[in-house]
Amino acid sequence: MEQVTLLAEDGTAVGVLPKSEVHTSDTPLHLAFSCYVLDPAGRLLLTRRALTKRTWPGVWTNSFCGHPQPGEDMADAVRRHGLHELGLRVDELRLPLPDYRYRAVDASGIVENEICPVHVTVLDQDPVANPGEVSEWEWVEPAAVAEAVALAPFAFSPWLVEQLPLLRRLGEV
């Protein structure tokens, strides 16, 4: 059973809940991560969340996201999810946004409330998507993604909408 680490406002761990119980209309603050995969040409791997996902089903988002298991090293969690969601073997990781935090409510009323460090990696491989996680994927020029997000933010996850400009300002994507 996948578990999620609950956090105090200062980011310290204060408990654990099964993932199936965390995301509700009153989601407690918890630990997660985002990862942006670039190819050697600088294109960004965008994924469309599976329609069966509890939060933001069917929206386009960054390459992949997840929750580390309690006590799991964050980089190990990123690597585990990259393999599980997209069949990607992630080696080198950068952590340009170590303190990113957000809260958002999807159309069904489910809340995301996360401290969510943002990682970036460069890989020279195409994904093999796990259909329970990802319905589609596409390599896209970051400038085109930024333009699409500006024109239609509702088509993208709220964390991508917030994270992408921050990463672009840092020269990460």
Q: 162 with 102: CB under 8 angstroms? A: yes
How many CB atoms are closer than 10 A to CB 156? 20
Q: Indicate which residue of 2, 9, 35, 65 is catalytic.
A: 65
Catalytic (active site) residue 72: no
Angle formed by the axes of helices 158-169 and 142-151, to 10°?
A: 130
How distant, in Å, are the alpha carbons of 47, 51, 65, 161 from that of 34? 12, 19, 4, 12
User: Strand 64-66 and strand 111-115: pairing?
Assistant: unpaired
114 is in an annotated binding site: yes
Paired strand residues for 111: 105
Q: Is 81 annotated as a binding residue?
A: no
Is residue 23 marked as binding? yes
Catalytic status, residue 65: yes
Catalytic residue among 114, 133, 162, 172, which? Answer: 114
Does 136 carry a binding-site annotation?
A: no
Catalytic residues: 65, 114
Residues that constitute the known binding site for Mg(2+): 85
Residues that constitute the known binding site: 23, 30, 67, 85, 112, 114
Residues that constitute the known binding site for Mn(2+): 23, 30, 67, 112, 114
